[in-house]
A and B are shown apart, each in its own frame.
Chain A
Amino acid sequence: MTHLSEEQLVDAYYRNSPEMPAHWNECPECRATFARLKEHLDAMRDYPVPVRGPSYGGEVWSRLLPHLPPARRKRVWFRWWTLAPVLVAVLVVAFVAGMLTERRVRVPTTPEKARERVLLIALSRHLERSQIVLSEIANGNAGSIDFPEERERARDLLDDNRLLRQTAARNGDAVDASLLDELERVLLDVANSPAEMTAGDFEALRSRIDSQGLLFKVRITSSDERFRGQKL
């Protein structure tokens, strides 16, 4: 007598009205196996999900709204990200100063951790800045985007990106190195793009960012690394 396979039983469980072969009616063993399977799968239905209140939809909307592509873009001369290179420079100076000080004075800290922390924060900030460039492109269209500005920003980011990618590779962090490599290729494309981009070129660039899920990966990694840096 050939019993029903576990795969057949699982299949039957998910079809609400299992059409079992004749064997089903004749075999108490298969019915018992199915009853056990059903009990187990039913028990997994209670997977608890945190409760969200009735205003949750509104909260999601409030968080989402600033990220939606605006209908019309106004040119703003001063933007907060123009300070980003200065912040990175301060971070690098602080890091170097820390390294030099550490050689002269024995302080009761673990320099490895401090170094890692600085690197993680630098990486997180770099990714946040890159995220802005990617968002501008992903949410813009060839007519509205200020492309020379994006090119300049991409060029600024490239040097940091190379440095961080090499460091990640040297430290054996293959995941970050791979993401930075992927990011670098897109930044290179942006940095070397013509001043007047055709709608087709722009769309190709945008769909490349979209298809690779690059923006999302950059956002996740940025928040992960910031969190790791804060924990150290």
Chain B
Amino acid sequence: MEWTDAAAAEEARKGNQQAFRVLVERHSHAVFRLAFRMSGNEQDAEDLVQETFLRAYKQLHRFDGRAAFGTWLYRICANCSLDLLRARKSRRESQPLEEKDDVRSWLDRVAAPEPSPERLTHSSQIMSLLGPALSRLSEMERAAFVLRHYEGCDIEEIARTLGVQANAAKHSVFRAVQKLRRALEPAWGVVR
């Protein structure tokens, strides 16, 4: 029998682990994508996926079905990511990384998305700058930008997810865009 997300969540809440398994298998790819974009690191993303589902399982009683299960799950993942980014930031501040290593290791970790030859040069230049530029954003800016730009969340949803006012969420997205455009200037010339 094919469960809907809501039905599987209801079953899982009653203690049916197989129902939760359905949800895990259905949403793992999407959660991983969000986690990777939030963390920029494959191993961290795997940890985040696990932590997200673990928290979701423990908080199933709080899922009231008003939002889609996926949305609820992404909210948990975004919060886990914020925790991780904050922890990483503190650690990075106490142990600064070599920027070049940072760039190289980020590039080494991601798989090439089969680019067309004409796109390759420009696109790879942008990508080589984008990962490190994202990692230099504040955790709030990064989370807001990823949710807006890659997940298509609206400002109210981002504000709810991050626990801030809508204006603050909107401003975080804006600041992130400004910083990223500035960081990517070498790839497309001076941004006015």
Contacts and interface: CB of A to CB of B under 8 A. Distances in A.
Interface of A: 6-7, 10-11, 14, 33, 36-37, 39-41, 43-52, 56-58, 60-61, 63-65, 67-69, 71, 138-139, 173-175, 210, 213, 216-217, 219-221, 223-224
B188 A10 contact: no
A220 B47 contact: yes
A56 B148 contact: no
Main secondary structure of the interface of A (DSSP, over half): helix
Interface string B16-30: 010011001111110
9 contacts: A6-B174, A44-B130, A47-B131, A48-B113, A48-B127, A49-B32, A64-B24, A216-B80, A217-B87
B87 A139 contact: no
A6 B15 contact: no
B177 A41 contact: yes
A45 B149 contact: yes
Contact of A61 (B15, B25, B83, B84): B25
A7 B32 CA distance: 30
Contact of B37 (A41, A49, A61, A139): A49
Nearest to A138: B58
Contact of B21 (A43, A61, A139): A61
B123 interface: yes
B47 A60 contact: no
Nearest to B91: A175
Contact of B54 (A36, A44, A48, A64): A64
